[in-house]
Chains A and B, each alone.
Chain A
Amino acid sequence: MSPAWRVLDTGVREAAENIALNRTLLDALASGEAPPTLRFLRFRPCALLGFHQSAEQELDLEYCRAQGIAVSRRITGGGAIYCDEAQLGWELYVHRRDFGHADLTAISRRICQAAVAGIRALGVDAAFRPRNDIEVDGRKISGTGGIFEGDALLYQGTLLIEFDIERMLRVLKIPAEKLSDKAIASARDRVASLKDLLGAAPALPEIQARLLRAFEREFGVSGVEGTLSGAERLRLERDLAEMDGEAWVRLIERPTGEQPLHEAWMKKSGGLLRVRLRVDAPSGRLKQVWFTGDFFISPRRTVADLEAALRDSALEGLEGRVAAFFEGREVDMFGLSPTDFAGVVRAALDSQPLAPRTLA
């Protein structure tokens, strides 16, 4: 008989409660109180920071307040996301020793590949995109992140069943123009939901069953429906006291001025190539890059892949990194060359930062 994993479905909850449950379930596993667990969860509308991010840098807090969108901080790494009831969270609480090695990159790849199999079973051509996204033809459908605590691991993702792109653009300070039809269209090139891809969203129980089956197969386990134990409920009360409030959101505060927004464009015979990007000044890294324009490129996903390759990369060596990206890839462009992408990014870096108000 294969080993059992507990399967929890904690339904729709407030952000703070879902995050506190992350801490509770991870600590319960680490202390030997709880078995390995697969949890499904959903969120009331919220913006979730990665553990090391600051709310000021990542979010339009005024908009969140006005719209009643909760703000919280995950205990896992990765970037800020917008969530509401139309995304399904999946989480694995597992022992590192069960993987037989310690390499975190390989562990996240294996977990993501299992999730990919589950999503593919729904009829969507999903694939793992290093480092931690699951995508369909270059469009992200599930972002993921994790935390390790000794031998205990939590790895989680959110699967977009349906997704309000306009709201995401408003909540997150991503370097896209906001609210124009063009901006929304360019965001649609980068994000996809099951409903977009399939025409109609599959029913929640079916999605959960497919994901569960895929994890069972990958890890040779069988899922058994369960509930929180008494000890976990006690832990949850304590963890919620820590995470339900401003202090937890403000745990890390960094000024917005550390991450200036830059923009540049170049007119080529193939059309206009434009870039907006944010730099993390203290670390000298590109934080996020967003290319737009009316140029021809095939496959289209090349742009999103290049953006993913440049995320969190050092400003130094940019040209080499872009050249390496295009090397060995079959990309058709008209009147545009790989060096133009590095060139427009460099031009943006050399330009004066945009004033904060032009973000809107």
Chain B
Amino acid sequence: MAAQRLAECNGCEFRPELYYDAHYQIWVRQEAGDLLSIGMTDLSQAIAGKILHVRVRRPGTARPSGKPVATIESGKWAGPVPNVFDCVIVEANPAVLDNPGLLNDAPYGAWIARVRPQLGIAEALSHLVTGRAARRGYCERAVREEIYCPHGEGTAE
């Protein structure tokens, strides 16, 4: 079963316990203290290629929905780590700032920023998808856009 799901998602890892934006660019995880962690999905890191730079907005900075919480650079492409709810940056992951390659090696272990949603956790999560519906959308995007994750570790159950 796991092998079949792996093939469906072109080898890209999916974590059913996480929340995702509608395009599966970011994952979001609930943390203690009404905080959310944000990271890049396996799809996003695969598209980007080897990531060389990460910049996270300063702690305390308010980021409205649609404004990136961070930017990354791979090869010579720069791009945003997007954001789909109003939030304030609480902290950046120092391990990722020191070694951006973690985003390629362990996309679900390497959170990029912790944020405090302006309108509460429930409101923020209402903009996101999770579980089986998310798995379906995630794999559909991998297939539709021909995204392959050669180093993906498979779908976690």
Interface on A for B, CB 8 Å cutoff? 50-52, 75-78, 100-105, 108, 131-132, 144-150, 252, 282-283, 285, 312
A77 touches B75 (CB 8 A): yes
A108 touches B55 (CB 8 A): no
Nearest Cβ in chain B — how far from A46, in angstroms? 19
Pick the residue among B52, B53, B71, B77 that contacts A104 (CB under 8 A).
Answer: B77
B146 touches A52 (CB 8 A): no
CA distance A100 to B146 in the complex (A): 8
A77 touches B77 (CB 8 A): yes
In the bound complex, residues from chain B placing their C-beta under 8 Å from that of A147 are 77-79
B interface, over-half SS: mixed
In the bound complex, residues from chain B placing their C-beta under 8 Å from that of A285 are 52
B157 interface residue per 8 A CB criterion: no
Interface on B for A, CB 8 Å cutoff? 23, 47-49, 52-53, 55, 71, 73-80, 82, 98-100, 145-147
In the bound complex, residues from chain A placing their C-beta under 8 Å from that of B100 are 283
Pick the residue among A78, A102, A283, A312 that contacts B146 (CB under 8 A).
Answer: A102
Pick the residue among A102, A105, A131 that contacts B147 (CB under 8 A).
Answer: A102
Chain A residue at smallest Cβ distance from B141: A102
Nearest Cβ in chain A — how far from B73, in angstroms? 4
A77 touches B47 (CB 8 A): no
A50 touches B75 (CB 8 A): no
Pick the residue among A101, A146, A283, A312 that contacts B77 (CB under 8 A).
Answer: A146
B78 touches A75 (CB 8 A): yes
B55 touches A52 (CB 8 A): yes
Known: A77-B75, A146-B76. A312 touches B52 (CB 8 A): yes
B48 touches A52 (CB 8 A): no
| Chain A CB within 10 A, most for which of B76, B80, B82 | B76
| Chain A CB within 10 A, most for which of B53, B71, B77, B99 | B77
A52 touches B71 (CB 8 A): yes
A-B contact pairs, 17 of them (CB 8 A): A52-B52, A52-B53, A52-B73, A101-B147, A102-B147, A104-B47, A104-B48, A105-B49, A105-B75, A108-B77, A131-B75, A132-B75, A132-B76, A148-B77, A149-B79, A150-B82, A283-B99
